[in-house]
């Protein structure tokens, strides 16, 4: 991470210089490419950001469900770093945004408790020369496909950013007394219900807070993911992801949908 003004590696500079001369790379399918062009954008390059993060440890109480705030912060910061570096690559290319963003986490044998967080996507630029940067003056990001980006634009909405919220939660082990107390019964466990309900809501609230900072009208395509990563089955990361959008026009140019009754399935 040696360049001044941003923290991109030197190898990136050479690749981006080539892209600035007109050559573009993208992971868009042909249909996606055509639809991105159709709504007035041109792909300018395949961009990525990465962060290798040591997630550390946090003590947890064996019999208590609780949020592991240090792990929550680590998982959030690592993704944020990867996203920021991808946005910096896009900004270097003069892009207005990044579509088809994918966020992945990889673990390697050589790095105990370390994980690589990667964000990749295709940077796009508006062909009419009018800036489409988001409210924070950065390229917008979105996990929408080319088809979804086209459809969204037809309904008068514009992506502002890929927003996320996370909550790493430790699920209590059940003690002998608790287990014996309900032996032979299938009953609701209100403490578990409340704890896990709260964990999911926290992840979603944090995602919405990010959308609010972008002055978004709403979030589309929200996904709730749950992973234990390498922490064991009692520690779960609840991740909420979606694309924050703002309404930019009341004109809906989407063709009137036609009912299709498929004959093949």
Binding positions for another protein, rule: CB under 8 A: 31, 34-35, 144, 147-149, 151-152, 154-155, 171, 173-174, 179, 182-190, 192-194, 196-198, 200-202, 204-205, 207-209, 211-212, 216-224, 233-234, 236, 242, 244, 252, 254, 256-261
The CA distance from 248 to 258, in Å, is: 25
- Pick 29 or 131: Cβ nearer another protein: 29
The CA distance from 186 to 180, in Å, is: 12
CB of 258 to another protein, least distance (A): 7
CB of 204 to another protein, least distance (A): 6
CB of 129 to another protein, least distance (A): 26
- Pick 1 or 187: Cβ nearer another protein: 187
- Pick 50 or 145: Cβ nearer another protein: 145
Q: State the Rg of the chain over Cα.
A: 22
The CA distance from 178 to 174, in Å, is: 6
- Pick 40 or 218: Cβ nearer another protein: 218
CB of 185 to another protein, least distance (A): 7
Q: Assess contact for 236 and 166: CB atoms under 8 A.
A: no
Q: Assess contact for 124 and 95: CB atoms under 8 A.
A: yes
3-state secondary structure 109-146: CCCCCEEEEEEEEEEEEECCCCCCCCCCCCCEECCCCH
CB of 188 to another protein, least distance (A): 5
- Pick 74 or 219: Cβ nearer another protein: 219
For residue 104, the surrounding DSSP H or E stretch is strand 97-107
């Amino acid at each position: 991470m040696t360049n001044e003004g941003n923290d991109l590696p030197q190898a990136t500079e050479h690749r981006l210089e080539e892209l600035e001369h007109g050559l573009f790379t993208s992971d868009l399918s042909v249909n996606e490419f055509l639809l991105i062009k159709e709504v007035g954008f041109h792909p300018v390059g395949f961009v990525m950001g990465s962060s290798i993060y040591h997630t550390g440890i946090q003590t947890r109480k064996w019999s208590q469900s609780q949020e592991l705030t240090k792990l929550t912060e680590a998982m959030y910061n690592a993704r944020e770093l990867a996203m920021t570096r991808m946005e910096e690559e896009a900004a270097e290319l003069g892009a207005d945004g990044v579509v088809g963003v994918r966020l992945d986490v990889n673990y390697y044998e050589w790095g105990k408790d370390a994980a690589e967080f990667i964000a990749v996507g295709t940077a796009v630029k508006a062909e009419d020369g009018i800036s489409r940067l988001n409210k924070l003056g950065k390229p917008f990001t979105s996990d929408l496909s080319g088809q979804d980006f086209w459809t969204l634009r037809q309904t008068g909405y514009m992506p502002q950013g890929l927003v996320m919220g996370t909550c790493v939660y430790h699920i209590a082990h059940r003690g002998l007394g608790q287990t014996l107390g309900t032996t032979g019964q299938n009953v609701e466990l209100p403490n578990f219900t409340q704890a896990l309900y709260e964990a999911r809501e926290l992840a979603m609230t944090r995602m919405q807070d990010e959308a609010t900072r972008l002055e978004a009208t709403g979030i589309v395509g929200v996904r709730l993911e749950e992973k234990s990563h390498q922490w064991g089955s009692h520690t779960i990361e609840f991740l909420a992801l979606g694309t924050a959008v703002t309404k930019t026009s009341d004109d809906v140019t989407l063709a009137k949908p036609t009912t299709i009754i498929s004959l093949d399935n």
